Structure 1
Amino acid sequence: MAPHRLLLLGALPLALALPRASFPRAPGNSSSSAAPSHVTPAPVVPYSSSQAHTSFAGTPTTTGALSETPIGPGASSLPANPAATTYPSDGELHSPEPGPYTPAGGVGTNGTTPVYRPQSDFDYESLALALYQEYIELDLFHDGLARFSAQDFEAAGLTAEDRSLIEFMADQEVGHATMLTNILGAEAPRQCSYVYPYTTVHEFLDFCQKLTRFGESGVYGFLPHLDSRESAALLTLSITTEARQQMIFRQFEGLFPMPVWFEAGVPQSWAWTLLAPYISSCPEDQTRLAWQNFPALSILNQPNPVRINGSAAWNETVSSGTNVLNSTAVPSSQSCLSSNTTGIDCSPAITHNRTNPLSYPGREVQLSWEVPGKAVGPNNSYVTSTSAGRPKYVAWVTQLNVTYSELTLNGSQSGSTIQPDVATYAGDPAINGTMFIAILDTDLYVTPFNITMLNPHVVAGPALYQSG
């Protein structure tokens, strides 16, 4: 892409870097113009929608996350900036307005020309992670459509129009990948090869709704911390589409579309831990990531949405981490897929209310987790690790809350805990929807803005808990 005035290195998204159209002037009126007859659309990134989905069988040439010599053990807890509490917040104006109807303050509001490119290593690595996510979604949606027949989808209650919607969501990912590639520049990650755990349409839908869940939440976790506010603005425009995709897949799965008041954000390493196991191999010299891969966490009694009583499930998943449901493990007499009874029916719909909740406060949750040191991710070139001490707590990361429950060990790599009874605000049970849990060595107090402070204390996880 040719440099654009003041915006170099191909950093401006193509959609914004098109040459300004020359509008023909209307006869007899030098100040008016007519719409252009044609504007050439910006090109998209190259991609394949028909690649193999097999496990990596070679030997990695590089091992471990991208790294540089650390200057210390990491950020330590500090008191709040005193200046953060000085604004009176009384509804009055306290500084001269820089322009009519424009209150003073804000970031990037002084007229400076926006530059859409990373401004730090944090920016680049965060946006590169988001691009890895967009590419797997692009491939995933195409793979489900190719792997299962029209009859398979129709048996699951999805019509040709529903399949067309999945195809359109794949097209959306082409745009998202193109935008991020143009921000990152020539060394941006490219499409990889992937391997998926599902074997049925229902498992495919469950995997999609869980992959889009951690993709969306992973961006929410870093979005407010980007140095490049311009890039954050564009990423916000794409992640709102991702949120709609996650809701659509919940509806396809017969789940209530939005059972929470707020969506949680999680650290980049949490999203990368959940994503990496499904990337088989990447092109040679692929841009590597700096984020940590934690040991995988399995929920042995993960609630199964295709059960009439979803919380009665035991060992009904086909993967760790995402803990995707196993649709063939449920006897027909206990399946809600063929029911048309209100409160039991879990066929695709705009919304369903379930008589039996998928989970509930006081439920005992059985867990097991891997030891660190496992090769995962592209070309088996990343290695799971942890710096945490003895496992003691389960962190429940949902909505605005990080809530802890005590972990009862019943082995070196297994244990149980009790689902907490906690609300975000009165009337909003905090533990609901597709949410995150992790094993920690301490019950550190954090908020949504500094949740990455948990990373040094993660023993295993995160895992996606299908609480509702």
Structure 2
Amino acid sequence: MFYKASIVAGFIAAAHAAPAVSQISDGQVQAPTATAAVSQISDGQVQAPTATAVSQISDGQIQAPAVTTAASPSSPPFGYYSYNQQPSVDTAAALSAASYAGIPVSDIPGALNPVAPVISSQVTGVTSHGPYSGTPTTTGAVTTTALASEVPVLPPNPKELGYNPDGLLHEPEPVPYQPAGGLGTNGTEPVYMVQSDFDYESILLGLYQEWIELDLFHNILATFSEEEFTAAGLTASDRFLIEFMADQESGHATLLSNLLGGPGGATPQCTYNYPFTTVHEAFDFTQKLTRFGESGVWGFQAHLDSREVAQLLDQSIATEARQQMIFRQFAGLFPMPVWFETGIPQSWAWTLLAPYISSCPSNSKRLAWQNFPGLNVLNQPNSARWNATQTGFNETTGFGGAAPSTDPPAGESCVGNNVTGFDCSAAIAQNRSIPLSYPGRTVYLEWENPGKAVGPNNSYVTSTSAKAAEFVIWVSQLNVTYSPLTNITSKDGMNYGMTIQPDVSTYEGDPAINGTMFIALTDANITYTAFNLSSVNPHVAAGPFLYQAG
């Protein structure tokens, strides 16, 4: 067996100081003066206030007098749509809180403060699900002049090799108790909006992800009966948790929409097509979809030009990580079988997401990221089997790189199998006596040729600049590992091959290949690390695919 591995452990720390910010209320930060940028955060929304100075101090809180919505262009551009951004006071809720507390509403700090609304998922009127059957009017990713075919491999920046981590301070402190360095720590007022094409397209991709998660969580509740949830081991409280997670997605979609500049820069919700037919399949699909949603953000957040946007994005994706863990628990999987969560490039996340978006309104914003040819593991380990080593070929349901495991016959299923080590009913933790996958396992693969119409309205086209596939890249935790692709054949427009699952560890005692992780096919085995993984894109021949290693 041949493989090539690189392991990197790093810590990214960024301190953000905001002396110019002048209101902190209920954990919210608000700026009183108007700037060219966004300067108020309220309930996860970012809005620009008026140019009026702060005019009231009450109950120890500083309040800005009036808040306006983002300015609308005089002539709405293509793709413009609107949603309510005007804060208001929920008087009924405030009176209810006062009644419960037994004190006047005026004595409760913040009870009468205006609160910005969440963006409605119904602004498009989309309520249906299923595949797209129309003809696209636009095809391909949004693009401009490309300056090169790939990012060159350069040596490290010499400035990043000079710091001596000896426990001492080497520069004067800007203020007491604050070491020198850091980005965004010089007292400049934070600007909460995207600052580059890279920022915009990254956050736009994140918004597409938030919209599908909001719809998916609601769709699961609407599709399956209470009896089906009960048979899967879930209670009314578990169903409410799913509903609450959908509410979280409303907040996330609102935050990202406003970071994109409000209605003029954001995009509305779409129509979706899901591959599951049972509750367990729905949870397996959802834990995979939330996996690449989370990993897609970890892959780009450290590269954003706007550190302020990265800060807010981190605070939302921390919740996404908890959602992924919950859905693993609902699927009877061990909640977090890895020590580190991996990051993937934007084009990987978009390739995985696009097959599940049927159509989008004509005023939706188009993405710049690449759609790679589809990759499939023919013997994907079936997480619904009590013995996954008995997995045969094509034991997945539906389509796409996140296709869920098919429910096996009752006698072979671990759902409701009340035997310790062989049960995958919903639980806080389920430890499997027989692992889903293992080093040395033969993995059989098939992949498409480029040129397939995918994504919203079938308006994106898969492509690759790679040469013939020679390797399988395994991306998990802090590792980028390769195994050779062998027995390559082609038949009826599809390509086939096989590989051997490598045996590598992140650190001693932590198998690198575990959990729901990522594989793709490449034409070279170039070493990449977590921070520069997107440089592999010109060498990706097909994929990625979510490999169910544990």
TM-score tier by shorter-chain length is: over 0.9
1:21 deviates by 8.4
1:255 CA drift (Å): 0.5
- C-alpha deviation, 1:36, in angstroms: 3.9
| Structure 2 match to 1:291 | 369
Deviates more, 1:315-324 or 1:159-168: 315-324
Q: Secondary structure of the equivalent of 1:428?
A: coil
In structure 2, distance between residues paired with 1:203 and 1:295: 24
* Alignment-derived partner of residue 154 in structure 1: 230
Q: Which aligned pairs between 1:106-117 and structure 2 lie closer than 5 A? A: 106-117=182-193
2:545 is matched with 463
Other-structure match for 1:144: 220
Q: Provide closer, same or farther for how the CA distance between residues 311 and 7 of structure 1 changes in structure 2, counting only shifts above 3 A.
A: farther
Confirm or deny that 1:432 pairs with 2:514.
Answer: yes
Contact 1:23 1:35 in 2 (8 A): no
1:87 and 2:163 equivalent? yes
Whole-Å Cα distance in 2 between the matches of residues 9 and 195 of structure 1? 37
Counterpart CA distance in 2 for 1:198 and 1:25 is: 52
Please identify runs of 4+ aligned residues in structure 1 that moved more than 6 A.
Answer: 18-21
CA contact (8 A) 1:11 1:183 kept: no
Which residue identity does 1:272 align to in structure 2?
Answer: W
Q: Deviations over 1:238-264 (max 9, x none)?
A: 000000000000001111101000000
* Contact residue 251 and residue 351 of structure 1 kept, 8 A: yes
Answer yes or no: is 1:38 the counterpart of 2:115.
Answer: no
Q: Does 1:316 align with 2:395?
A: yes
Query: Which amino acid in the other structure matches residue 515 of structure 2?
Result: G
> Which of the numbers 418, 440, 455 marks the counterpart of 1:340?
418
- Give the conservation status (yes or no) of the 8 Å contact 2:37–2:191: no
User: Structure 2 counterpart of 1:389, which letter?
Assistant: K
* Partners of 1:18 and 1:389 in 2: CA distance: 49
The residue that corresponds to 1:362 in the other structure is 440
The separation in 1 between residues aligned to 2:534 and 2:357, in whole angstroms, is 24
1:29 match: none
Look up the equivalent residue of 1:451 and give its one-letter code: L
CA gap of 1:149–1:25, structure 2 versus 1, over 3 A, is closer
Q: Relative to structure 1, is the Cα distance of residues 278 and 7 closer, same or farther in structure 2, using a 3 angstrom cutoff? A: farther
SS, match of residue 213 in structure 1: helix
Match of 2:172 among 79, 96, 113: 96
Q: 1:17 & 1:301 partners in 2: Cα distance?
A: 49
Which protein is richer in helix relative to its size? Answer: 1
**SS of residue in 2 equivalent to 1:435:** strand
Q: Deviations over 1:364-406 (max 9, x none)?
A: 0011011111100011100000111111100000000010001
In 2 relative to 1, CA 58–462 (structure 1 residues): closer, same or farther, beyond 3 Å?
same
**TM-score in terms of structure 1 length:** 0.95
2:414–2:422 CA contact under 8 A, matched in 1: yes
Distance of 1:417 and 1:460 partners within structure 2: 15
| Amino acid in structure 2 at the alignment position of 1:298 | N
- Aligned with residue 457 of structure 2, among 356, 379, 383: 379
2:497 is matched with which residue? 415
SS of structure 2 residue aligned to 1:409: strand
Is the 8 Å Cα contact of residues 322 and 463 (structure 1) preserved in structure 2? yes
Deviations 1:173-212 (A, max 9, x none): 0000000001102221111111111111111001110000
What does residue 56 of structure 2 align with? 22
- Change in Cα spacing, 1:73 to 1:11, as seen in structure 2 (3 Å) is farther
Deviation at 1:285, TM superposition (A): 2.2
Is contact 2:374–2:448 with CA below 8 Å preserved after alignment?
yes
Q: Equivalents in 1 of 2:512, 2:181: separation in Å? A: 34
Distance 2:333 2:316 in 1: 24
Question: Would the alpha carbon gap of residues 16 and 268 (structure 1) be closer, same or farther in structure 2, given more than 3 Å must change?
Answer: closer
1:265 aligns with 2:343: yes
Which position in structure 1 is the counterpart of 2:313?
A: 235
Deviations 1:415-440 (A, max 9, x none): 11000010000110000000000011
* C-alpha distance in structure 1 between counterparts of 2:359 and 2:167, whole Å: 55
Percent of aligned positions that are identical: 60
The amino acid that maps onto 2:164 is: P
> Where do 5+ consecutive residues of structure 2 fail to align?
1-30, 61-106
CA separation of 1:358/1:187 partners in 2, compared to 1, >3 Å: closer, same or farther? same
Q: CA, structure 1 residues 25+224, in 2 after alignment: closer, same or farther (shift >3 Å)? A: closer
- Alignment correspondent of 2:296: 218
